[in-house]
Each structure stands twice: as C-alpha cells, then as structure tokens.
A and B are shown apart, each in its own frame.
Chain A
Amino acid sequence: MVTETFLHPWAIAAVIAVAVAALVAGWFARAAKRERTSVTWVANASYLTTLPSFRSRMSKYRVLLTGLAVVLVGAVVATGFLAARPVDKVTRSDELATRDIVLCLDVSGSMIEYDTQVVEKFLELLPSFNGERIALSIWNSTSRTVFPLTDDYDLVEEELRYAADALDFDLDSLDDLSFDPAAYDRLLDFVLGTTGLGDSSSSLVGDGLATCALSFDLTDTERSRSIILATDNEVFGNEIYTLPEAGELVDERGITLHGFYAGEVTATSAAQEKEYRDVVELYGGLFYASDDPGAVDGIIDNITSQQAAELDANPEVVITDRPEEYFPWLMALLGIYLLAVWRLRT
C-alpha cells in the first residue's frame, strides 16, 4: 500500500510559527533601526504625497508589496511542507509477496454483481502488489481462464478493468429491454466459453473449483496459494467433480480455499450454503456469506489480513522522500521573491 504522507507534520506549523516570529522580530528591529538611523528632515514637503506620479507609483508599490507578501507566504508554506518531509510510505512484506491468488468467479446470472465487486476490490489492491501473482478464472458450466497466474500487473490491471467493465451489467434490464446493447454484447463476449456443455447445466461449482486448483504452477517453490471462490453453489447438471471432491483436490495441492457465498433464498439454498461452508471450513479457509455486494470489500480485507497473520508477515515500511512536488514551488517562489525585491530596491 502506497500512502503519501508527511513524516513530521508538525514542521508545517513550526515553520509558519518561526516565520511569523521572524516577521514580528523584523518589525521591531526595523522600528529600532529607524529610530537610530538619522533622518534627514525636510519641511513643507507634504505636497509630495499629492503628486500624481507619487500616487501612481505608490499604488504600484503597494501592489508589488502585496504580491511580495503572497509570494513570501507561499514560500513559507512550501518550506513548511518540505520541512515536514513529504514521503511515500510503502508497507511491504516479502512473505505476502509470495502469494498466488486465483480469483475463481462463478459468472452465472445471480453472481455477476458480486463478481464485479471482487474484481474492483482487486483492482484497488493491485498497486500494493509487489511480487504477488494473480489469476482470474471464470466459470459457469465450463471454465475460462481470463488470465493465468502472473505478476505482469499492467496486463492484470487491463484485464481486471475490462472484466469489471463487462461484469458491470444490470441483468434486470434484460426483462424490460432497457439495457444497453453494447454493454450486453460486452458481457456476452466476456463470459463466452463458460457455457459450453449444453444449456441444461450451469454453475458446475466443483468443476470450476477444480479447474482453478489446477491453474497453480511452480509447484516446487514455496509459495502461499489461495483461491477466492465466489459462487451461490446452485448446481444444475452433471459435475465431474463434486464440491467436496474439488475441495479435497484443492487441499491436496496445498491451496487455501476462501469462500464467498451469495445465494438467493430458495428451498435448497440452506443446504447449498451449508455444503459450501463445510467444504471451505474443513480445510481451514474463511467463509463469508452475504447478500450485500458492498460487503465484498471488507471480506477481501479480512482474507488479506488473515493471510498476513498466517504468513507471519512483518510488514516493512519503506519510506521514499517525495520533495519534487514542493521543491519547484519553493524555488519558483524564491526566484520571484528575489526578483521582486531587486525591483523594489532599484
């Protein structure tokens, strides 16, 4: 996670306070100096201030002074920000970076909304990834690997963005024909190949999960492997793997399964949820059930922190100084200040 922050935020206030103190001191010093410097006394010179050229020059002088004050305040603020040490804080852990995560998403009609949330959450997490590999596999009656495990984050971002875009479709709009045909085409295009085995079967969760389990590679290296499965476990048709079998396969391969359930309440939904929960919890995964797509965000945070705890990841904070945002400002303002002072003095 990259956070832009200030290492010493109090320095802003301190610098401003010092500047104000210097201003006050300067004011008194000036008054004292004025007292000491010998004034040349003239008489009958009050007409000077009524002369047009004096007035115009005076107003110009005031404008310059005001500009100078603004520039000075700006320079002080920039100095304050610089003194506060603007840094990028990156919390990074090498253990977490060994994670391989397969997003295993059921793209049957009822789950599309939840899939969107999962994809968007991972889009959000993506900038903090440093070595983690991620894959996206979608399935209905058959599976399609959108992209395999990779740390090519440019590709991942592109694909996730496209997936989020395509999945962001309101299926209810199909009923009243108010949908956007282009968006519908995009969705159909995205889920293409996941409904290959005839119309009768859908949501073959065991097969989908098994496919995801087989998508891990580098089996001889020590990596943390996990699947984030989102499904309603509403199976129609004949599966090669049942869900418990697939769960066993997953466990055999040393993969942790985290489950997310979001089914409608039907006559069989409780049994489906229970089967799903049992499989996930049997192998020590985290199981969540929610009918609120907004809950996905927190769930994935939970999974991440759970992984961090399991991996005994000591997050390492890497601090990078980022003065480049304020430094040019300070330089430019100081330059303007010097120019203006030179202009005022001559």
Chain B
Amino acid sequence: MAQSRSRLAKVRARLDLPTVRRAAGLLEGRHRSIYSGHGQDFDEMALYQFGDDVGDIDWKSSASSGHPVIRRFVRDSNVAMVLALDTGRNMAATAPDGSMKSDIALFAAEVICYLARARGDLVALVAGDEDRIVQIPARGGTEHMEMLLRRSESMLDLEAPPSDLNRVFDRILTWFTRRSLVVLITDEARPRPEHELGLKRLRTRHEVMVIQIGDVLPTAFSDRVIDDVDTHLEIPEYLRSRKDLSAEAADAALRRRHDVAAMLRRQGVEAVTANSEDELIDRMFDLLRRQRRVRH
C-alpha cells in the first residue's frame, strides 16, 4: 500500500503477538461454531447447550448418554462476516475515557478486520443511519479491508444524520441471505426496544454479536460546556459537578445498559460494552471466549 498509515498495521502494532494468536484462535473456534450446523460433513457429537437448534438434537445419543446431545456438521462454504456499523452522529460523541466514540468504534472494526484477514475470511460492510446507507460486499484481502475501514471512518462525524439501526438491519436482511456473523458496532444505548423486532429477524438468519461503545456521563464535565448530539442540552453552570445529580445520572445510565443487555439476552445475542480502546480488546476476547465455551 502506498499509504503509510495502514489501519491494519496500526492494529497490528497495538496487539502483541500472543494476543493475536489467541484471538485468531478464538475467532476460528467461533467460526466453527457459527457455521457448524447444517452442512454435509458430520463434525462431532456435542452436549446440547442453550441456544443450539432443538432440531439438531440426536435423540438416540441423548437417550444413551442421559444428556441431550446434538450432532454437529461442518459447513463447507466460504466464511463471511458482516460489519454492521451505526454511523449516526451519536457515534461521534465523547466516550467515557474522553476520546471519541468513533475512534473506539473504528478500532473495533479494525480488530475485526485484522482477525478476519489473518484467517483469510471475507468481510462485508453495512454502515448506515437515518439518511445514508453504505454497503460493501464481502471480500477478502488487505486492500479491501483498508478501503472498508477508510469508508467507515469517513462516515463517522458530528455532521452525520441521527442513528437508525433498523435501516442497517433491513439492508443486511435483504442482501445477505447466507448465514453470516454480523458484528454490530453501536453505542451503549442501542439496540433500543424499537430495534428488537429487527434484531430478532436478523437473529433468525445470522449469528449476531454486538459491540457497544460506552457513552460518557453528561455530568462528568464540571468545567466544560456540553451538548447532546441529538437533543439540545442546556446545562447551566449551577448544575454541573453536583454529586447527587452525578450519582443519579450514573444510575440511570447503568439501568439503561441493563435494559439493553436484557433485551440482547432475550434475543440470544452476545454483547460487550467498551469504554476505551484498551478495554475493547479485553472485552472482545472475553466475548469470543465466552462464545466458544458455550458452543464447544
């Protein structure tokens, strides 16, 4: 690449080798678990876990072992991931560590692309909000990933339209008919209840993983003028740095996180919330590991 600041190279610099290996291994395991199911080649017998298709239960084996057992098959088709990116202006706001949420979101996308490239997987992009929708079909290779990330980066800014995840979901449902791993990158307040139906439909066809970028508390700044990207917020100086207000805001934010988490759990979607780039790496690997434990 002519460009010196390759995004993937940057990720490479941040992840140490053991981590990368571990992560790649985790992703591999994850992929197997995603694509195992309805292929032709029998893979293995495994104990039924919550979330497995009930139709896969091998009743004879279950009867003999005394536990529900499923039969796994390996899918022989190409592996594809869909990077579903929320590009609403909410993603360009401030993260809890003071950095931009968009930076953390991009970093998450970079890590995903990096791991996918390492495995030779294909990555597609569906990025959208209320007005825009950008779709890049699944392809492999460094050039493609770099282009995809640059495209994502150009869409994340404060001038962007408000977020609308349902448009992103609809686009994925329309264009990606093959079972894929959809990695949704949004913020801690989403998916909202109005996205639940879309998520449910998405979930029937794809494996879904959500990476949520944390939002900074609006009460975290005592000396700066803050404003909400979606609804204008006028906080007079008198109300800044009030401890009780801070506590109450933290409480409300936590409750909202719990609500979103409960909804995602209901839909069988794994999710992580990251408040900073460093936390993101740990959380993503936690997520992959957790997924693997469930599946194997």
Is the CB–CB distance between B233 and A48 below 8 Å? Answer: yes
Q: Known: A42-B227, A46-B233, A48-B249. Contact between A58 and B215, CB under 8 A?
A: no
Q: 13 other contacts beyond A43-B89, A44-B188, A46-B230, with CB at 8 A cut-off?
A: A41-B158, A41-B226, A42-B218, A42-B227, A42-B229, A46-B231, A47-B249, A47-B252, A48-B219, A53-B245, A54-B239, A54-B245, A57-B245
- The number of residues on chain A lying at the interface, defined by a beta carbon within 8 Å of a beta carbon of chain B, is 24
Is the CB–CB distance between A43 and B225 below 8 Å? Answer: no
Is the CB–CB distance between A57 and B229 below 8 Å? Answer: no
Q: How far is the CA of A48 from the CA of B90 in the complex (A)?
A: 16
Specify which chain A residues have a CB less than 8 angstroms from the CB of B231 in the assembled complex. 46
Is the CB–CB distance between A39 and B238 below 8 Å? Answer: no
Is the CB–CB distance between A42 and B228 below 8 Å? Answer: yes
Q: Is A13 an interface residue (CB 8 A)?
A: no
Q: How far is the CA of A112 from the CA of B231 in the complex (A)?
A: 84
Q: Could you list 22 examples of A-B contacts with CB < 8 Å?
A: A34-B225, A38-B225, A39-B224, A40-B94, A40-B225, A41-B226, A41-B227, A42-B94, A42-B229, A42-B233, A43-B94, A43-B189, A43-B228, A43-B229, A45-B218, A45-B226, A47-B253, A48-B233, A48-B249, A53-B244, A61-B236, A345-B237
Is the CB–CB distance between A44 and B90 below 8 Å? Answer: yes
Specify which chain B residues have a CB less than 8 angstroms from the CB of A49 in the assembled complex. 233
What is the minimal beta-carbon distance from A129 to any residue of chain B, in angstroms?
Answer: 59
- The number of residues on chain B lying at the interface, defined by a beta carbon within 8 Å of a beta carbon of chain A, is 38
Q: Which of A43, A46, A58, A344 is in CB contact (< 8 Å) with B91?
A: A43
Specify which chain A residues have a CB less than 8 angstroms from the CB of B188 in the assembled complex. 44
How many residue pairs, one in A and one in B, have C-beta atoms under 8 Å apart?
A: 98
Q: Known: A53-B248, A57-B239, A64-B238. Contact between A42 and B226, CB under 8 A?
A: yes
What is the minimal beta-carbon distance from B63 to any residue of chain A, in angstroms?
Answer: 51
Q: Is B92 an interface residue (CB 8 A)?
A: yes
Q: Is A298 an interface residue (CB 8 A)?
A: no
Q: How far is the CA of A266 from the CA of B242 in the complex (A)?
A: 93
Specify which chain B residues have a CB less than 8 angstroms from the CB of A345 in the assembled complex. 237-238
Question: Mostly helix, strand, loop or mixed at chain A's interface?
Answer: helix
> Restricting to B30-48, which residues have a CB under 8 Å from any CB of A?
none
Q: Known: A46-B230, A52-B248. Contact between A40 and B239, CB under 8 A?
A: no
Is the CB–CB distance between A51 and B93 below 8 Å? Answer: no
Specify which chain B residues have a CB less than 8 angstroms from the CB of A200 in the assembled complex. none
Is the CB–CB distance between B228 and A45 below 8 Å? Answer: yes
Q: Is A37 an interface residue (CB 8 A)?
A: yes
Q: How far is the CA of A52 from the CA of B219 in the complex (A)?
A: 14
What is the minimal beta-carbon distance from A110 to any residue of chain B, in angstroms?
Answer: 77
Q: Known: A57-B238, A57-B245. Contact between A41 and B252, CB under 8 A?
A: no
What is the minimal beta-carbon distance from B189 to any residue of chain A, in angstroms?
Answer: 4
Specify which chain A residues have a CB less than 8 angstroms from the CB of B239 in the assembled complex. 54, 57-58, 61
Closest to A48 in B: B218
Specify which chain A residues have a CB less than 8 angstroms from the CB of B229 in the assembled complex. 41-43
